[in-house]
Structure 1
Amino acid sequence: MNIEVSSKNIRFFEALSSETRIKMIELLNEQPMNIKELAEKLDISSAIVTRHAQLLEQAGIISSKSLTASRGTQKMCSLLLDQVHLQFRGKGRGPNEIAASIPVGQYISYEVKPTCGLASSAKQIGVVNDPRYFADPEHVHASIIWFGSGYVTYRIPNFLQNDQTLTSLEISLEICSEAHRHNEQWPSDITFYINDIRLGTWTCPGDFGGPPGIYNPPWWTYYNTQHGQLKTITVKKQMTVIDGDVMSQVTINDLNVAPGKELFLKIAVHEDAVHCGGINIFGKDFGNYNQDIRVTMTYA
């Protein structure tokens, strides 16, 4: 995950500005723990731990869920992030970059199986778990889509000119698994393709519920998926990486992108995957990152 050092991410950095919260992260790195267990380890009250946990959740660093216990319920916390890359220099559009934002509902082809559905910021589109509604003309207004298996394909605009050569392709999007309602222990193998060339597969650990996504509309209920993880896939001259980690040996030259040649991004969850756990794709007005699918093409 890449985090730009800027005021728009101040909530994330504030969450790390407490020694207590850092100790909580250290404890959760060992294993998931409930609020009472954290309070005992830290020698502070459960009420104080609950407040610290809320701040870490809001920043997307940990997740929590309520579990039935012998006496009522308990809030179980687990570490959500594996690593974060800090970006000190802004990545605004530079002189050798072409950037585009693709709304998640503007796919050009699909094949999906339940559980599935789509919604705009204003309403549910069509009927849940009926793949036919992915063909509803309203789908272009969707700000979140989800399916149990299958794929969606997006057209990436290619504005390269005849004297320009693509040197890297970056795709940034918020995603997670798809379970009934939500289940944070629900892995899913999510595979990415450009022009049918497989870039690689990332295994999402779960379908995240708990606290509401920062940008979710008020009508989106607690029982629905709340947020995902922001993932950045970059195809470079040497390899393809996801959040800085090697994803595959596919290079930018393997994509054979030339001026005037169309680019297609396919996002798939295969039925024969080891973890066929579906996918949620978040756009603006949903989740914890107010963005659609961002694509940046760097050229020379």
Structure 2
Amino acid sequence: MHIQVSTKYMTMLECFSSETRVKMIELLNNGPMSIKELAEALGLSSAIVTKHIQKMEEGGLIKTESLSGTRGSPKMCSIAIDSLTLQLRSVAPDPAVEAATKYTVEIPIGQYSDYAVKPTCGLASESKILGLVDDPRYFSNPERMNAAHLWFGSGYVEYRIPNYLHAAQTAEQLDISLELCSEAPSYNENWPSDISFFINDIEVGVWTCPGDFGSKRGALTPAWWQLGTQNGLLKSLSIQESGTFLDGVKLSNVTIKDVGLKLGEDFRFKLASLETARHCGGISLFGKHFGNYKQDITVNVYYKDRSKAD
């Protein structure tokens, strides 16, 4: 996330004025925790911790969710964003994005249009394993549409992003948000994986994920799941006129014009763990009923409409 330092964001900025709140962020960096767990770790009362959490939730740094199933179920807290970049000096806004409108689509992680994967691999819905673990054939299982979690040791999955633009509209920016991590047998939080992002077969960048996270249960991961991996990192990929960015940090010089978005054709988005990569550590992908973030693959297409400008 990238913000301009101003009074508009005072609630968020005030979250960092307390050492206690910073310590909470440090604790939550290891995974979701309940109010009670945070209170015990900090040596504070649950009432005080609740007030701090409410402040950070209002500022957009923390999100909370009550676990269902039992009376008096605990409220779980987790970090809402992976990074925050502060812009101190004012800069002129990007005129293309300022003038653009957008449409948003959310693509279920099981709704891939193509794949080629190798073990370790598998799919799981909110309630069960789909097919057999480590058998790539089940990636063709019609039940894959219900997948809330999928994983593979190498290979790729590709998704089709609907292109709703007409002749007078031009794509100015493509933003994709998703939760993912590496894929190790069981789990290994020190398991780097070079994850490649492609748009229309053009590699827009590579991100090295540090590991496969399983030491703490994901806030949304169902109780029946026992296979190791619990949650990923929420990453935001943005292909713009000036290059490609991941969480606001420039990833490559590939621009929105380079990826060949064509009128009447879907945008193809591919996630790959290439066997030729330095760190071929696989990919684990999470939907809205697994991991820490209640979302599937969220896509925002920003575009300029010349018919309205005229």
Please give the range of the TM-score, normalised by the shorter of the 2 chains: 0.7 to 0.9
Structure 2 match to 1:136:
141
Indicate conservation of the 8 Å contact 2:221/2:291, yes or no. yes
Matches within 5 A, 1:38-57: 48-49=41-42
Q: Deviations over 1:268-288 (max 9, x none)?
A: 000121111111010110011
Structure 2 match to 1:233:
237
Q: Alignment partner of 2:258: what SS?
A: helix
Q: Alignment partner of 1:165: what SS?
A: strand
Q: Alignment partner of 1:265: what SS?
A: strand
Indicate conservation of the 8 Å contact 1:208/1:225, yes or no. yes
Match status 1:299 vs 2:292: no
Shift of 1:20: 3.9
Indicate conservation of the 8 Å contact 2:200/2:260, yes or no. no
Structure 1 match to 2:154:
149
Choose from 219, 226, 250 the match for 2:224. Answer: 219
Structure 2 match to 1:168:
173
Structure 1: unaligned runs, 5 residues or longer? 4-11, 33-45, 61-80, 88-93
Choose from 272, 278, 281 the match for 1:277. Answer: 281
Cα separation, 2, equivalents of 1:212 and 1:28: 12
Matches within 5 A, 1:1-300: 19-20=19-20, 22=22, 48-49=41-42, 83-85=83-85, 96-221=101-226, 223-300=227-304
Indicate conservation of the 8 Å contact 1:228/1:287, yes or no. yes
Shift of 1:141: 1.0
Cα separation, 1, equivalents of 2:187 and 2:281: 11
Specify whether residues 122 and 14 from structure 1 end up closer, same or farther in structure 2 by C-alpha distance, changes over 3 A only.
farther
Q: Deviations over 1:128-182 (max 9, x none)?
A: 1111111111111111110000000111100001110000000100000011111
Cα separation, 1, equivalents of 2:27 and 2:147: 39
Which letter maps to 1:192? F
Q: Deviations over 1:229-254 (max 9, x none)?
A: 00000000110000000011011111
Structure 1 match to 2:78:
none
Task: Give the TM-score normalised by structure 2.
Answer: 0.71
Indicate conservation of the 8 Å contact 2:100/2:172, yes or no. no
Specify whether residues 86 and 213 from structure 1 end up closer, same or farther in structure 2 by C-alpha distance, changes over 3 A only.
farther
Structure 2: unaligned runs, 5 residues or longer? 4-11, 31-38, 57-61, 64-80, 88-98, 305-310
Which letter maps to 2:216? P
Q: Deviations over 1:60-118 (max 9, x none)?
A: 9xxxxxxxxxxxxxxxxxxxx9732489xxxxxx9810111110001111110111000
Shift of 1:122: 1.4
Q: Alignment partner of 2:218: what SS?
A: coil
Indicate conservation of the 8 Å contact 2:198/2:270, yes or no. yes
Q: Once the two structures are aligned, what percentage of the paired residues are identical?
A: 52
Q: Deviations over 1:195-214 (max 9, x none)?
A: 00011100000001122111
Cα separation, 1, equivalents of 2:27 and 2:114: 44
Shift of 1:262: 2.3
Specify whether residues 181 and 241 from structure 1 end up closer, same or farther in structure 2 by C-alpha distance, changes over 3 A only.
same
Specify whether residues 126 and 163 from structure 1 end up closer, same or farther in structure 2 by C-alpha distance, changes over 3 A only.
same
Shift of 1:19: 1.8
Indicate conservation of the 8 Å contact 1:165/1:258, yes or no. no
Q: Alignment partner of 1:140: what SS?
A: helix
The CA RMSD over aligned residues, in Å, is 3.4
Specify whether residues 288 and 15 from structure 1 end up closer, same or farther in structure 2 by C-alpha distance, changes over 3 A only.
farther
